[in-house]
């Protein structure tokens, strides 16, 4: 067994770093070329993974629901955007900050992910109600709308 000193380890790290920097542009170009050759396969594999992750949530989330504002019947999967459940942020600060659907498509339904989902307390809205109701300053927006209607 070869025993290396700290000085030798530092030289090896420095050499590896120089080699990495020297070949960085070449390795990026090769990775880009590999992606361009196999682009369709990458896209298909990503899409298959998204579908399987979304389907894994089907046991936990309701297949049918009604919009919380207008009462329209909505479905979890297999319909166009006007009849699909849209998950609405009911609170401004929560663990899932961006699109909740992206969270479902990028993570399997596990007990840890279910806890994260439940901590956000998402509401169920239709496409149009989700477009009209803002996430930030919701109560202030509603009071302005109410004041406008009562004029």
Residue 76: inside a domain: yes
Residue 36: inside a domain: no
Q: Are residues 135 and 103 in contact, defined by beta-carbon separation less than 8 angstroms?
A: no
Residue 80: inside a domain: yes
pTM of the model: 0.67
Domain that holds residue 138: 62-149
Q: 3-state DSSP call for residue 42?
A: helix
Residue 125: inside a domain: yes
Residue 6: inside a domain: no
Q: Are residues 100 and 76 in contact, defined by beta-carbon separation less than 8 angstroms?
A: no
Distance (Å, rounded) from C-alpha 85 to C-alpha 72? 10
Q: Are residues 35 and 23 in contact, defined by beta-carbon separation less than 8 angstroms?
A: no
Residue 71: inside a domain: yes
Residue 91: inside a domain: yes
Can you list the positions of beta strands (E) in the chain? 64-66, 73-75, 86-88, 123-125
Residue 7: inside a domain: no
Give the count of domains, the chain: 1
Instruction: Please write the tens of the pLDDT for every residue from 95-147.
Output: 888 888 899 999 999 999 999 999 988 888 888 888 888 877 878 888 888 88
User: What mean pLDDT is predicted for residues 33-37?
Assistant: 95
| 13 pLDDT more than 80 | yes
- Length of the chain, please? 151
Q: How many helices (H) and strands (E) does the chain have?
A: 6, 4
Instruction: Please write the tens of the pLDDT for every residue from 37-67.
Output: 999 999 999 999 999 999 999 888 888 989 8
Q: Please, which residues have CB within 8 angstroms of residue 120's CB and are 6 or more apart in sequence?
A: 89, 90, 91, 94, 95, 96, 100
CA angle, 98 then 109 then 121, to 5° = 50
């Amino acid at each position: 067994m070869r025993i290396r000193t700290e000085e030798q380890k530092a030289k090896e790290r420095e050499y590896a770093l120089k080699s990495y920097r020297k070949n960085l542009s070449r390795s990026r170009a090769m990775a880009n070329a590999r992606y361009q050759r196999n682009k369709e396969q990458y896209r298909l594999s990503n899409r298959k993974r998204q579908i399987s992750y979304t389907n894994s949530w089907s046991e936990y989330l309701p297949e049918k629901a009604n919009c919380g504002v207008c009462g329209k019947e909505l479905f979890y999967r297999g319909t166009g955007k006007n009849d699909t459940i849209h998950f609405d942020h009911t609170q401004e600060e929560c663990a899932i900050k961006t699109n909740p659907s992206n969270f479902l498509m990028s993570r399997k339904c596990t007990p840890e992910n279910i806890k994260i989902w439940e901590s956000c307390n998402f509401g169920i809205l239709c496409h149009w109600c989700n477009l009209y109701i803002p996430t930030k300053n919701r109560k202030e927006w509603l009071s302005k709308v109410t004041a406008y209607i009562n004029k």
